[in-house]
Each structure stands twice: as C-alpha cells, then as structure tokens.
A and B are shown apart, each in its own frame.
Chain A
C-alpha cells in the first residue's frame, strides 16, 4: 500500500485556516534550511488513505481477541461519547481550580471507586500506562525505605514468570532484581522466597492471578514472608479482571498496586496506547507517592472512559466481570483440553496457558503456526511464547464480554487446527494465507533497520 508521502501532488492541500488578520511578524532567529517534507494531499486522498489503513488492522470490533494478559474486552461506545464532550476536551490543564470542578469530580470519583475495588486507601491517576504505574509504585517503595532511614533495601524480588516490565521497572527505579523460580504449579516457591528475602529486600512484585492464569493460594503466606523481612508487597494489576469484585489485593496483604484502565476497565487500547496505569497504596505510603510522573495529571480522557464504564456497572456489575471472565476461560479450557496440553491442569482464573511442545515435536507445528492459523479464521491470535517459563506457550484470555457462540467457534477452530497439524503441517507453516502480507522477515528488519521513508533517496 502506498505511503501517505507517495500520494497527492505538489500544491494540494486542505482549506483549514483563514488569512492572517494581524500584521505578519517574521522571525529573525536562525531558521531551518528547508521545509519539512510533509504530505501534500487533498482531503479526499487523506480520508481514503486512512480508511484503507483501517482495513488492514484488527480491532475488538472485528472479532474475537483472546490475547492473554491483555484483557481485550469490548469497549463501550458511550465511554467514547463521554470522552468527546467539549466540557472535557476543551479544558486547559492549568485553568483556575474553580473552573475545573467537573474534571476534579471525575478524578475524585474514579479514585474512590478504584480504592474500593482494590482495597487501597489512596489512588493516583498520574501514570499513563501500566509500566509507568509500576515505576511510580516502585518509586513509592523506594521513597518509603529512604524515609525510614533504610536505604540498604535495594532488592526487588520478581518471580521468573513475571511480565518483562516488572524487572525493567525495578531496574529503572534503581533496584537490583532478584528473580525467583516458580514451583511446579507456576506459583511462588515459598522456600525460594524465604531464601531470597532479607535485610536488603525492598519488596516483592507479583501478579495474582499470576501470569500462568492461576490464583496463588499461598498468597497470605507470601505477603507475610515479605512483610516479616521488612519488605513491601507490590501488586501488578494486569490480571485484576479475574478477581474484580470477588477479592481485593488490599485484603491479600499488598501495599501498592497498579491497575490498567485499558484492560480491566474497558478503555480501548488504541493500537498500543494511550492507556492509564493508576497506582493505589495503603495509608502509610500515601505521603511517598511521587507527585510528578508526567507533566499533567494522568491521561485524563482515559479516566473519563473508565469512570463512565464503572458508573454503569456499579456495585452489582463489577463482580460480574470477575465471575464471567473466569467462567469463560474455564469453559474454553475444558473444551480445548480434548486436543491441547494445558501447562497447568488446574482450575484457571481469567486466562489459561496451553503448551504446544508435544504438538511441535510430533508434527513440527509450533505455537506460532497455530496462532497464525487462527488469523485465517478471523480470530486474533492468543499471546504467544509468554510466560517464558512455559515451552511453546499459547495464552488465552477470552474476557467476560464474549458470547458463548464466539467461544464455541474459537474452540472449534483451535481443535481443527490441531487436526490440521497432523494432516497438513505445511499449510500451517505458511499461515496466514489470505492477508495482504504473509509472515514478515523480522531478521532483515532488525539487521538493516529502515525506520523511515527515504523520499526516493538512497
């Protein structure tokens, strides 16, 4: 498909601005040598360009999106309407306090809801994404230990099954990362944890349900061990969808949490962002929350969307999230067990992990092949090769917003693909078949990076 730079012609454009109605002032300071080469297109061309691009994407509106750990639930349209209100979009962030009372009501109300849902005492909406929230939470932990005159607490314990942002955030906050092995059930190995904690422990980062989709039943003991050693417990809210309204991190012994509004609270992902990663903490940590994690207070419009969503769900609706997310996952897991090996054969929470290592050994068809095969059936692939502790992993998270028929169809497709792996592995190696492109050459992309258009130059 043509790039926008390859469309249009010299001199084309839109009619956007009136003539300048004040005397022209010409800048005397040094100027750029040449104008930036921006597109010269008419509105027709511009509009069609992006419509064509849109056709080569896959959103939640296009079909089932069982992307494990990403919680690709349906994004209600009323949330978008609320976020488009002029009374929100037209507000300068540095307006006088008495002219932004509506914005304050949005943030205060959302903070209150999120405190209650997580069992925390304070929430900051500053962080713009989950990883930003992790960083914020870890800086809180660091500030706390420093204030307690205990700066020797320099280590953050992270299970080997953790998402990459956990160790990366800990390192960014200046901590040393201590990775501990998971036990055979994918949960925290208590002996390994006991051996890891000490006077240098700043805290533990954990998702629960964990990244293999299981609720760690030893959670009270885990947070107890860390607290006993003088560390704090950080809850990565990536998987909150499983327990929303059913259980709360604050009641499990966690001191700090971050949430992903773009996962659990229905804000859309926007092709990779903007999201929002509010951070909550217990009362004793409130004063250590950083105050300046970005220029202004959070991704405000994302907060508007999630508040609209929560207003609708309310007290009765929130627990239905967790219950149905877990139900849908177990429903699919049961059906798929007929042909696929589960990494952990146990009641899962909102997602489950299959291991295709036997299939690969027997047929040569990998998790990647099966994932790409799903594309041919109009289904977005699950998360692949994560968590790292499971070989040939496919992680499926159906979410609560999918009707039963969709789950049934996805199961049929996956069972069919398992058969296809036996009969025609080559076909799956070549999947997807009906897309504008096949599998891209990522090696070439990384070895000789082409990161922008060349405008016909060498």
Chain B
C-alpha cells in the first residue's frame, strides 16, 4: 500500500500519548459508534508508486491520440510552447494556495495582475477578473451580472455553442432568470427577430463571436440594437480571433467572456480550462470572483493584493452575486505565459494561420464534393454538408479516423463542423481532403 504519512506507527503511538489519548478510537469518540465504518472500504488494496503509475499509463493507453485534429467546437488543438509548460509546472505555483497572504504571494498575485492586463488588451475592455471555471460558466455568470429587479430575461443567440446555452439554462434554473433563444438565419443571428425580442424585461443579449458555426457575426450592429433597448450586451469570444477581429470593447460590449483553453492549455478531455471575464469600468463591481489590484505597502513599495473582496461570498455571503471561491488560477497563469511567449506578433500569426488553413481546408473539401452549408465569412471553423446525407458523415469520419485524423464534429442532417489551427500542416490538410474526396467519389459511383 502507498502512503504519504511520514510518522511511523511507533511515532504515531507516542504522539497519541503526548496528546493525552490511549487509542485512535478515543480520538473519534464523538462519532457515534453505529456511524463508524465497521468493515474495510470496498475498494482495491493500495499500490506502490510504480504500480499506480503503470495502471494510469495503461488507462492512458486505451485512449486514441489523433495525429491530426480537425475538430474544435469549444476545444482547440493549438501548439503549446515548451516554455509555457515549464512555467506552469513550477512546483511552487502548482502547490500554493489562493494568495490571501500577500506578503508571501506576490509572485502569483503579480502573474494574475499581468493576466488581467492581457485579457483587457485582448478584449478591449476596462477590467478583468482572475478567471472562472470555463467559457460556459463565464457566460452564465455574465447573465447574473446584467440582470436586475426589473429586467430578468436573458436573450442568447441560437448560433451560440449549445453546450454554453445548456449551462446557462442550468444556472438560470437556480436564479429564476428566463432564457430566450434568438433564432438564427443562414447560420447567423437573425437581427429582425432580435429586434422583436428586445422587450423591456430583457436584461442582456449574448452573442458568440465567431459563432458556433465559425461565422463572424455583425457584432457591432447587434450591440447597437441591444443598447437601443437599454439592455446589456455580452460577447462570448474565442480569444484567438481577438488577435484580428474588432474587439468586444470596440463593438460596445458591456461584458466579454470566453473559453481561454486555446491560450496554452491542452485538450485534456475537457479540462481544466479557463473562463475569462472582462467588463466595462461601470460593471466592475458586478464581476464575480477574485480580482487582483495594485497598491503599496507601509513603506511605499509596490504590492499586489486581492481586492474588492466585499463583493465576494466570504464577506457578502447570501448577498454575493456569485458563490465562486476556487477558480482556475494556474490556467490564468498559463494563458499569461502563453501570450507572453507568442507576443503580439506571434499571436497575430497564430490567428492568421488558423484562418488561412481553415480556408484552405474549406476550399479543398468543397472541391472534394462537400457543400458549404452557410455563406458569410468564417474564422477557423466552418460547416459543410455531405451530399450523401447523415450516413455519409459516418463514412467520412470513419475513413479519416483510420488514417489517424479526427475529422470535424457531426452536427446532424449531414452537416459537419470543421476546424483548422496553426498546427495542421498543408500535407495533413491535403491528406484529409484526399480521403474525403475518395469517400465522396466512391459514394457517388456506388
């Protein structure tokens, strides 16, 4: 059996005596006899480190790691610079607690202050929090930021990732906020419908940019409509797109949120990822979770601290607008390290390569016989329809899988959501296109 308890049995006995107890049983005297476990736990016996490591390797080995990934839909396969892993693997960062003790936590506090600055730069917003759990919970928290006594309806575009809408619904089952989905038209938010739905009980409207189908929304004019109706405008953004696209700040957003996984975090079967949240100065106090601020110590030296804490649950308790305590601090540090490593120029290059490779893949698949589902400009994801319908989708994806390629995500009705990133080489893309072509041509001749 493995153990991480340093004290030997003999030492434990001595300590028991020193503490004034005869036995371990006596230590637990307050636990009613009938509530104590009488039989050993029904789990396997313990292992040595070597065995446990072997067991985990065995489990990892049962997964398939694809050489080429052409699937996004909320989780993206980007290149992670080695320096990022070196930084976030530093033992002290990994094992430290929340930086409540500022005097021995300046490193973590400063790193999050730097993260907050970078997220403000990316989104064009005034203030950032220190992270929430993921992009979906960030969107759900943003709804709470915007609602008030009179406005309790949250609008969300149908072009938003369905997983995000589901999480928003769970949160709203709690808060009593009502979610209404604004229909889509040709893969983009239906502006006429939005205008109709912006009644005076609407607190906020959320649009995803680029949207779930990869299309670039007319975010600025959506924002204008929302503000005309005196509601708040929330944008859920892919951070890589912010290297190029008009920022939420420039589009008039009141709150900008998103999934930060693209910024240096591995796919990792869905987590841990990073929910980022930024807002206008006016909404600063509605931001949930921890926020780091700059100040000085009693000798005038620059210092960083957790600040605006009176918003939070440990002080405001049931009146706090969010219950968040633990966040994704190490993931926020990962994002900051990633953005520092790539720099402004490198970040734009990552985005440009994503866009170029996605367009190359789309053109290739078009030529191979797949049909673009929507018009409109896309970023690094796009939807195509199989001419042979849903059945052909499975054949296409299976054929790719056999060649170590994870194809796009099936969306039903013969549609596939594809994604390309800077990691995909031209050779890989050509290979995938060739396989699809073969399947579609084979299908046609059959």
Q: Closest chain A residue to B220 by CB distance?
A: A30
Binds B, one of A70-78, A357-365, A412-420: A70-78
B124 within 8 A of A: yes
> Are B52 and A312 in contact (CB-based, < 8 A)?
yes
Q: Which one, A14, A173, A307, contacts B343 given CB within 8 A?
A: A14
Main secondary structure of the interface of A (DSSP, over half): loop
Q: Once the chains bind, are B37 and A311 in contact (CB under 8 Å)?
A: no
Q: Does A308 contact B (CB under 8 A)?
A: yes
B272 A299 Cβ-Cβ under 8 A? yes
Given A245-B41, A272-B98, A451-B293, answer yes or no on A295-B340 (Cβ-Cβ < 8 Å): no
Residues on A with C-beta less than 8 A from B342 are 13-14, 16, 38
Contact, CB under 8 Å: A296 / B75: yes
Offer 11 A-B interface pairs, CB within 8 angstroms, sorted by A.
Answer: A1-B106, A24-B352, A76-B4, A76-B49, A93-B271, A102-B60, A129-B326, A215-B30, A375-B103, A445-B305, A451-B294
B117 touching A452 by the CB < 8 A rule? Answer: yes
Contact at B2–A142, with CB atoms within 8 Å?
no
Chain A nearest CB from B94 CB (Å) reads 5
Check A451/B128 contact, CB under 8 A, given A60-B95, A88-B268, A271-B98. Answer: yes
> Given A16-B341, A272-B327 in contact, is the A59-B93 Cβ separation under 8 Å?
yes
Q: B192 contacts which chain A residues (CB < 8 A)?
A: none
Q: Interface with B: A188-196, A226-234, A279-287, A319-327, which one?
A: A319-327
- A59 and B93 alpha carbons, distance in the complex (Å): 7
User: B442 at interface (Cβ–Cβ under 8 A)?
Assistant: no
A331 touches B18 (CB 8 A): yes
Whole-angstrom distance between the Cβ of A447 and the nearest chain B Cβ: 10
Q: Mark A282-317, 1 if CB is under 8 A from B, else 0.
A: 000000001111111111111010011011111111
B243 CB–A CB distance under 8 Å: yes
Q: A38-B343, A327-B15, A375-B101 are in contact. List 5 more A-B contacts (CB 8 A).
A: A20-B353, A50-B337, A54-B90, A314-B45, A435-B104
Query: Is the pair B133, A294 in contact by a Cβ cutoff of 8 Å?
Result: yes
Q: Cα distance A268–B273 when bound, in Å? A: 16
CB B427 to nearest CB in A, in angstroms, measures 8
Residues of B within 8 A of A340 (CB): none
* Cβ-defined contact, A3 with B19, below 8 A: no
Q: Which residues of B contact A333 (CB under 8 A)?
A: 19
What is the bound-complex CA distance between A219 and B32, given in angstroms? 9
CB <8 Å contact, B92 and A168: no
Contact partners of B101 in chain A: CB under 8 A? 58, 371, 375, 380-381
Most chain B CB atoms below 10 A, which of A1, A93, A271: A271
Whole-angstrom distance between the Cβ of B53 and the nearest chain A Cβ: 5
Top 3 nearest A-B pairs by Cβ distance? Answer: A296-B270, A87-B60, A314-B46
Q: Which residues of B contact A132 (CB under 8 A)?
A: 133, 137, 324
B73 touches A94 (CB 8 A): yes
- Give the shortest distance, in Å, between B146 (CB) and chain A (any CB): 15
> With A and B bound together, what is the CA distance between A65 and B90 in angstroms?
18
For the complex, what is the distance from the CA of A304 to the CA of B341, rounded to whole Å? Answer: 28
Asked if B41 and A318 make an inter-chain contact with CB atoms under 8 angstroms apart, the answer reads yes
Given contacts A22-B426, A132-B133, A252-B35, A269 and B95 within 8 Å (CB-CB): yes
Q: Is A92 an interface residue (CB 8 A)?
A: yes
Residue of B nearest to A119 (CB): B37
Question: Considering residues A100, A129, A134, A214, which has the most beta carbons from chain B within 10 angstroms of its beta carbon?
Answer: A129
What is the distance, in angstroms, from B280's C-beta to the closest C-beta of chain A?
12
Docked Cα-Cα span, A50 to B338, in Å, equals: 12
In the complex, the answer to whether B170 meets A401 with C-beta atoms within 8 Å is no
Instruction: Provide the bound-state CA to CA distance between A390 and B420, in Å.
Output: 57
Q: Any chain A CB within 8 A of the CB of B228?
A: no
**Is the C-beta of B225 less than 8 angstroms from some C-beta in chain A?**
no
Contact A444 B295, beta carbon cutoff 8 Å: yes
Asked whether B35 lies within 8 Å of A220 as measured between CB atoms, the reply is yes
Q: Judging by beta carbons under 8 Å apart, are A246 and B12 in contact?
A: no
How would residues 111 to 151 of chain B score, 1 for a CB under 8 Å from any chain A CB and 0 otherwise?
A: 10110111011101001101101111100000010000000
Contact A139 B83 (CB under 8 A): no
Q: Is the CB of B83 within 8 A of A43?
A: yes
Residues of B within 8 A of A70 (CB): 97
Given A90-B266, A449-B284, also A47-B104 (CB < 8 A): no
- Do A25 and B330 have beta carbons less than 8 Å apart? no
Chain B CB within 8 A of A164 CB: yes
Q: Is A169 engaged at the interface, CB distance under 8 Å to the other chain? A: yes
Q: Which residue from A12, A81, A452 sits with its C-beta under 8 Å from B53?
A: A81
Q: What is the CB-to-nearest-CB distance from A49 to chain B, in angstroms, rounded to a whole number?
A: 8
A93 CB contact (under 8 Å) in B75, B111, B174, B328: B75
Bound complex: CA A72 to CA B295 (Å): 28
Q: Is B291 within 8 A of A451, CB to CB?
A: yes
A 49-97 contacts with B by CB, 8 A:
49-62, 65, 67, 70, 72-76, 78, 80-82, 85-96
Interface residue tally for chain A (C-beta within 8 Å): 195
Say yes or no: is B36 at the interface (Cβ < 8 Å to chain A): yes
Residue A147, interface by CB 8 Å: no
Mark out the residues of chain B between 132 and 179 whose CB falls within 8 Å of any chain A CB in the assembled complex. Answer: 133-137, 144, 161, 163-164, 166-167, 169-171, 173-176
Is the pair A437, B301 in contact by a Cβ cutoff of 8 Å?
A: yes
Q: How far is the CA of A411 from the CA of B318 in the complex (A)?
A: 36
| B250 cross-chain contacts in A, Cβ below 8 A | 30, 32-33
- B339 CB within 8 Å of chain A: yes
Stretch in contact with the other chain, from B20-28, B198-206, B383-391: B20-28
Q: Which residues in chain B, 1-57, are within 8 Å of chain A measured between CB atoms?
A: 1-7, 11-12, 15-16, 18-21, 24, 26-32, 35-37, 40-49, 51-53, 55-57
Minimum CB–CB distance from B97 to chain A (whole Å) comes to 5
Q: Residue A183 at the B interface, CB < 8 A?
A: no
0 or 1 for each of A190-231: is its CB under 8 Å from B? (1 = yes): 000000000000000000000000111101100000000000
Q: How far is the CB of B156 from chain A (nearest CB, A)?
A: 14
Contacts A57-B107, A247-B31 known; A452 to B296 CB distance under 8 Å?
no
CB–CB B90/A442 < 8 A: no
Closest to A274 in B: B272
CA distance A52 to B106 in the complex (A): 10
In-complex Cβ contact of A452 among B128, B166, B343 (8 A): B128
**Residue pair B244, A32 in contact (C-beta under 8 Å):** yes
Q: Is B375 an interface residue (CB 8 A)?
A: no
Please tell me which one of the listed residues B49, B64, B290 contacts residue A272 in the complex, with CB atoms under 8 A apart. Answer: B290
Q: Does A122 contact B (CB under 8 A)?
A: no
A47 touches B45 (CB 8 A): no
B71 at the interface (CB under 8 A from A): yes
The verdict on A182 contacting chain B, using a C-beta distance below 8 Å, is no
Give Cα distance in the complex from A43 to B298, angstroms.
Answer: 35
Closest CB of chain B to A37's CB: distance in Å? Answer: 5
Q: How far is the CA of A317 from the CA of B51 in the complex (A)?
A: 15
Name the A residues within 8 Å of B340 (CB-CB).
4, 38-39, 41, 46, 49
Q: How far is the CA of A248 from the CA of B43 in the complex (A)?
A: 14
- Looking at the assembled complex, report how far the CB atom of B141 sits from the nearest CB atom of chain A, in whole angstroms: 10
For the complex, give the distance between the alpha carbons of A100 and B397 in Å. 16
| Residues of the A chain whose Cβ atoms lie less than 8 Å from the Cβ of B77 | 92
Residues of B within 8 A of A32 (CB): 124, 242, 244-247, 250
Q: Which A residues are in CB contact (< 8 Å) with B83? A: 14, 43, 46-47
The 0/1 profile, CB within 8 Å of B marked 1, for residues 418-455 of chain A is: 00000000000000100111111110111001111100
Alpha-carbon gap, A314 to B111, bound state (A): 37
Instruction: Flag A97-132 by CB within 8 Å of B: 1 or 0 each.
Output: 001111101100000110011000000000011111
